[in-house]
Amino acid sequence: MTYDRLVCANCAAPVSEGRCPVCRANRERLQQENPFAGLNPMTLIALLAILIAAVALLAHQTA
Ligand SMILES: [Zn+2]
């Protein structure tokens, strides 16, 4: 989700510009709602590899 077009109710400017404290608070809150925003691609790939290995291990044990 993007907040580029979100307009602030306080100053009527785009929230992404952070012109007033309300804008900045909303911007921080929206950024925190995406837990993957702070992760870099290598971390995601590593997590995915661990997940695939765990699933493969479980499938091997039950089969
Ligand atoms: Zn504002």
Kindly give the distance from the C-alpha atom of residue 61 to the centroid of ligand 1, in angstroms, as a whole number.
Answer: 56
- Joined together, the tokens standing for residue 16 give 């992404």
CA of 12 to the centre of ligand 1 (A): 6
Instruction: Write out 5-61 in H/E/C secondary structure.
Output: CCECCCCCCEHHHCCCHHHHHHHHHHHHCCCCCCCCHHHHHHHHHHHHHHHHHHHHH
Q: How far apart are CA 23 and CA 11, in angstroms?
A: 8
- For residue 30, how far is its CA from the centre of ligand 1 (angstroms)? 14
Reading the chain (63 residues) residue by residue, the pLDDT tens digits are 566 778 999 999 999 899 999 999 988 888 777 666 667 888 889 999 999 999 999 998 876
Answer yes or no: are the C-beta atoms of 43 and 52 closer than 8 Å.
Answer: no
Whole-prediction pTM:
0.46
Compute, in angstroms, the gap from residue 1 CA to the centroid of ligand 1.
Answer: 19
